[in-house]
A and B are shown apart, each in its own frame.
Chain A
Amino acid sequence: MTTERVCLLVEDQRPNQVRMTDALTAAFDNIRIEVAGTVKESRQWLASRASLGFTLAVIDLGLPDGSGVDIIADITGSFPNVTTIVSSIYDDDGHLFEALAAGARGYLVKNQEPEMMVHYLQRIEQGEPPLSPSIALRLLSHFRTQIRPPSDVALTGRETETLALLARGLTIAEVARHLLLSPPTVAGYVKAIYQKLNISSRAEATLHAVKRGLV
């Protein structure tokens, strides 16, 4: 018997809660889903003992008392091993980039056919986070405009190549075929890119804070 998987679902709209719960249940065996409707509730749950051992978080951005981005940042800080997924109605860079920079490992477009959602969730869990072409483009320009980045946040040549191909609409499997690599290797690049985005964003935020005299 596999160990029970604990998932935090942050979603304020009741119908969406139901549909997301259905999708999660369909995607993973033996999953326990904790639902929170506000930033406050989520933080209370994260601070409680119930959060011990949770591995997955699906977070809506527009919440009644704040932005889901703050919860993502909390989780990334306190629970580095948790896979955080943004659930959004859009998959374009404008809406998702901030959340990805805060540490989300993937995103899920709401209100599509249930089987698509299940498929995405499984892919993320298998280490193949989705990356739409527009987000890939935004990532490329983010890393390109960094001024003298430390080596741990600069993209490698392979990672840049991967992003460029994703930006042209290829899947991770197709990128792997194109670069004569295995799909897990390319998926690894994508995860590394997400991590570097998170690190460089935090560094940038600190820099901004220092500049403004906040730190």
Chain B
Amino acid sequence: MTNRTAYSLKRFQGTNAWKYWLILIIATLAVTTSICVALQGRTFDGAYRQGEQLYIQGPDGTPAVVLALRQPGQTVPFRLQSADFVAQVDGVETYAALDRYTNRQGQLVQILSGRSVRVIFASPGRSPSETERQVRTLKLSSFNYSFWVSLFVGVTAFLIGGWVWALKPEDATTRTLAVNGFGMLLAAVSSCAFYAQPVALSPVMIFASTTLNHLATVIFGMTLVGLFLQYPQRLVSPRQFWLCMATGAPVFLLDLLRLLGGPTGIIGYCFVVILLVIALVGVQFYKSRRSPGARASLIWLGLAVVAGGGSWGVIVLAYLVQGQFHNMPESLTFLSFLLLYGGVALGVARFRLFEVGDWAFRIFFFTVAAALFIGLDAFLVYLAGLAKPSAMALSLLLIAFGYLPVRDRLWRRFVHSPRLNENERLASALDMAFTAQPGERHARWRALLHSLFTPASIETLSSDVAETRIEAEGLHLCVPGLNDMPPLRLSYPHAGRALFSPRDIDLVNQIIRLSREAAAGLQAYERGAAEQRQRLAQDLHDDVGAKLVSGLAIADDAVRPYIYGALTDIREIATALVTESAPLDRVLADIRHETVRRLDVAQIELDWPVWPEDAPFVLLSSLQKKILSSAIRELVTNIIKHARAARVSVRMTVGASRLNGRIEDNGAGFPETVTQGIWNGQGLKNISDRLGQLHGDVQLSNLSPGTVVIFGFPLLTDVKNAEGPIS
């Protein structure tokens, strides 16, 4: 937001400054004009309007209804009617009624043209009496609140539209929006004379105001339709666009020539516009199905239209149903247009002021609640015949117990993506940092980012990202590389329903910091552990090994093989201590390398196909590695010593989650006791015990000639992870 402010300030000082000045001057002019025009309205001392009646303060201080007015010296008083005080001139149903209204307003203005006026009034429960009051123009403080509401909405809409236009002056959409805002301002200015609620308005003023107001309405309506013809995607050619805009002219002319069926015709036009816009939003929604960026802003726009236009429609319909349309406070409908307007402006400018998606839904839900409330209230009062206060209470209760829980559920369903809480975030970051396999760690990092933002896509960046940043006004989030993982770019968060916000940068930075700290801690620990193991291995070799080597010198031929075996074991253990887990292919390469040399010395042929390069990646733990190596070594030793074989074949395979081995020779075969399960030699017993440690097994059987040993052990999670999608 700070950036944006700075940005607009810079713009303000730049070549666009004249645009800002223009907007400010127009807005100031509009406000001044409105107030000046409204101040022309005529009234007399103590008069005020309420509902469809005129009141004055009675002699005893209680309000008294004004029944009639006459000029001093005029004999026949002018009897006031409720039709003289309609709030909504556009709501007068027939042209005849409108003419009558205008005519009577003219007479009233005539009566109020003198310095004072004779007022005939009736306090409740008393007979009518007469008094003389001073005639004057309206005071600023006596303007009805409608005046201020509509002026506020008009000016705000115009400022928003103008601001967006000044920020992106080259964009056709923002130009349309600016004109749209101007239409709103014009509508407000032209309504001000009515909304200030004087006792009477001159017919000229009535005609000028309604004409200008209808022109403004047409401009607003056409540009609103025009906006959705171009945004987010251009649906028509510029020529077709102007043709569409031009249809506003005949509408205005028909209205001016009284050919729209009645003064309310312009309201009908507004309904048509709202329906058209909703339809266009639908079309745009469909068209932007492959463009999450356009959709993100469109969802916001669509909701603004539904919320703003919808609430306007509900209010108008509610008054129509009651037959009270001419009494509808139009300033309220202005507010619903402001809602629509603000949404449109935000969507067009695509500012990341806050989490747009969340707010869109929030406003939408509030609107639904408001609409339901008004609808229910109206239903209970006018159709079920309930008294007003109890109807309102009942609708409130129904909304509270019926709608709000549904809303919460909808909220969770649509908006509140399952965000990880602080603890889960910490756990995920640590999980990732502690994952040994780079591929899996990478996958977890992506999964974590995905669970946080549910972006439509995550891509790996080739160039380095120095710090987390937002690109394309919130469409993308660039995440720097983490430890050995490459930088990533996340696009279209929350499946394209929202944009990235500065808060997301903080979140990512926090996780990156956590993971780096965790990784650093782990490395320090591993360094320490590795040093410890190194020392152990050194001691084992130097101390135990040296003693065994000394023993070799005095050992006899029977003992010597055992000492050599022990030395090999020590070497194996020392290696296992120093090296941690290792990839299966490297372990098998080492074992094969050793086996082929030993059999070479013993002049036994080996058939052991080289491990396929496309085999799944499997990581063996140091224990698995050690047991696999020593099992094969022991079996080969047996063959060299006892089998008198000429040929050995070894087959290693990795299955779903199991490593299998099969070693076959063409020698003398095992003694019967062995195949029956009585393993006297320590070697075979050892193999069985050790594989048992890994939940594996070994089977020995005789062939003719020779033996076959089948062994294997489960790889637990390692194979599954390796085969899983690592992208």
Contacts and interface: CB of A to CB of B under 8 A. Distances in A.
Contacts of B593: 132-133, 169-171
A89 B550 CA distance: 15
B571 interface: yes
B134 interface: no
Nearest to B547: A15
A169 B591 contact: yes
Contacts of A112: 564, 567-568
Interface string B565-605: 00110010011001100000110111111001110110000
B545 interface: yes
Interface string B549-562: 11011000000010
A111 B568 CA distance: 8
A102 B361 CA distance: 70
Contacts of B600: 119, 171
B93 to A, nearest CB: 88
A169 B601 contact: no
Given A113-B564, A116-B601, A133 B596 contact: no
A168 B601 contact: no
Interface in A61-103: 89-90, 92, 94
B589 A168 contact: yes
A19 B552 contact: yes
A130 B596 CA distance: 12
Given A132-B593, A168-B589, A170-B610, A90 B571 contact: yes
Interface string A166-181: 0111110010000000
A64 to B, nearest CB: 13
Given A89-B541, A92-B575, A115-B601, A169 B549 contact: no
Interface string B522-541: 00000000000000000001
A18 interface: yes
A165 B585 CA distance: 12
Nearest to A137: B586
Contact of A119 (B546, B579, B597): B597
A115 B591 CA distance: 19
Interface in B354-399: none
B577 to A, nearest CB: 12
Do most interface residues of chain B lie in helix, strand or loop, or is the interface mixed? helix
A168 B579 contact: no
Contacts of B546: 13, 15
Contacts of A16: 549
B78 interface: no
A134 interface: yes
Nearest to B567: A111
Interface in B32-83: none
Contacts of B613: 168
B351 interface: no
A130 B594 CA distance: 11
Contacts of A171: 593, 596-597, 600
A168 B611 contact: yes
Nearest to A109: B571
B597 A174 contact: no
Nearest to B596: A171
A109 B575 CA distance: 13
A111 B601 contact: no
B326 to A, nearest CB: 86
Contact of B550 (A15, A119, A133, A174): A15
A168 B294 CA distance: 53
Contact of B592 (A113, A134, A137, A169): A169
Interface string A94-129: 100000000000000101110110011000000000
B308 to A, nearest CB: 63
A90 B589 contact: no
Interface string B498-528: 0000000000000000000000000000000
Interface string B316-328: 0000000000000
A59 B545 CA distance: 19
Contacts of A134: 586, 590
B553 A111 contact: no
B565 to A, nearest CB: 9
Nearest to A164: B613
A26 B464 CA distance: 60
B36 to A, nearest CB: 80
A162 to B, nearest CB: 13
Contacts of A116: 597-598, 601
B506 to A, nearest CB: 38
A89 B610 contact: no
A168 B571 contact: no
B291 to A, nearest CB: 43
A111 B549 CA distance: 8
A120 B585 CA distance: 25
Interface in A130-147: 130, 132-134, 137
A200 B574 CA distance: 31
Contacts of B545: 89, 111
Nearest to B598: A116
Contact of B610 (A115, A119, A132, A168): A168
A137 B593 CA distance: 13
Contacts of A167: 589
B588 A90 contact: no
Contacts of B592: 133, 168-170
Contacts of B567: 111-112
B553 A18 contact: yes
Given A15-B552, A18-B553, A169 B596 contact: yes
Nearest to B579: A92
B253 to A, nearest CB: 79
Contact of B571 (A89, A115, A119, A130): A89
Interface in A13-27: 13, 15-16, 18-19
Contacts of A111: 545, 549, 564, 567-568, 571
B637 to A, nearest CB: 10
B661 to A, nearest CB: 14
A112 B541 CA distance: 14
A174 B591 CA distance: 15
Contacts of A13: 546, 549
Contact of A169 (B564, B579, B589): B589
B597 A165 contact: no
Contacts of A168: 585, 589, 592, 610-611, 613
A19 B567 CA distance: 14
Q: Which of A89, A109, A167 has the most CB of B within 10 A?
A: A89
A130 B579 CA distance: 22
Contacts of B590: 132-134, 169
A112 B574 CA distance: 15
Given A111-B549, A137-B586, A119 B601 contact: yes
Nearest to B553: A15
B330 to A, nearest CB: 77
Contacts of A169: 588-593, 596, 610-611
Nearest to B561: A113
Contacts of A133: 586, 589-590, 592-593
A120 B593 CA distance: 13
Nearest to B565: A113
B616 to A, nearest CB: 16
Q: Rank and list the top 7 A-B pairs by shortest CB-CB distance, nearest first.
A: A169-B592, A169-B589, A133-B589, A111-B567, A15-B549, A119-B601, A169-B593
14 contacts: A13-B546, A15-B550, A15-B553, A16-B549, A89-B571, A109-B571, A119-B601, A120-B597, A130-B597, A133-B589, A168-B611, A168-B613, A169-B591, A170-B610
Interface of B: 541, 545-546, 549-550, 552-553, 561, 564, 567-568, 571, 574-575, 578-579, 585-586, 588-593, 596-598, 600-601, 610-611, 613
Interface of A: 13, 15-16, 18-19, 89-90, 92, 94, 109, 111-113, 115-116, 119-120, 130, 132-134, 137, 165, 167-171, 174
Given A19-B549, A109-B571, A112-B568, 5 more contacts: A15-B546, A111-B571, A112-B567, A134-B590, A168-B610
